[in-house]
Amino acid sequence: MKPSPIKKTSVKQTPAKKTPSKNKSSKQWMREHVNDPFVQLAQKEGYRSRAAYKLLEIDAKDHLLKPGTVVVDLGATPGGWSQVAAAKVGRSGKVIALDLLPLDPLTGVDFLLGDFREDAVLKQLENLLQGKPVGLVISDMAPNISGVASADQARGFHLAELAMEFALQHLKQDGGFLVKVFQGAGFEDFLKLMRSRFVKVVSRKPKASRDRSSELYLLGIGKLEYRKLE
């Protein structure tokens, strides 16, 4: 299955006034982004984002996305992970994507706009599942960066805990949970928490993750006895 074409939109925005340091940083980021080989490859192969190659590499190693698998993608927009998942699980599988931001339609992906913690959104999810057990929950979510490292780190792990809570409630017993985290304060505590919830927990650092980034992916397989997180 080929990735769905990217739908281009044009949004007129008023340029924000930037300080010289911020402007320099933005230009540096843009140069790095444009020259990034995974960005170029994503554009060439029709993926929504370079993040697609992170999931492709992890799946090549851990074989998570089997035909027929039911996948829930938390924080899915712009859709790179959902594209990969839909192509891998095929028509016999199912991919349900959720996000607070809109997602341009993707072939083989059902999208829910809203917060996955809200009852109304969970009800829609249950209707889409039609009684099928969830085999894999994936989350590439990250908080909006404030620039305060300690606060951003704490918010990142809060998102990871929310995603894990969701996974523990909806995964089948031998299902998998893949989540993005950031090394630093709170990492060891979250790793310990995951190990108390899953039979097997491993870490992955795909090549598409930039070297300077502290991001890491934790994969939990097989639920232990479920207990609601405090």
Supply the residues annotated as catalytic: 180
User: Quick count: other Cβ atoms within 10 Å of Cβ 172?
Assistant: 14
User: Quick count: other Cβ atoms within 10 Å of Cβ 159?
Assistant: 18
Single out the residue of 133, 138, 123, 131 nearest to residue 177, CA to CA: 138
Q: Which residues contact 164 (CB under 8 A, 6 or more apart)?
A: 177, 179, 193, 194, 197, 220, 229
Lookup: tokens for 107 = 């072939």
Lookup: tokens for 94 = 């199912």
Which amino acid, 14? Answer: T
Give Cα separations from 187 to 36, 54, 56, 190, 220 (angstroms).
28, 20, 24, 5, 15
User: Quick count: other Cβ atoms within 10 Å of Cβ 50?
Assistant: 20
The CA distance from 121 to 131, in Å, is 16
The CA distance from 50 to 175, in Å, is 26
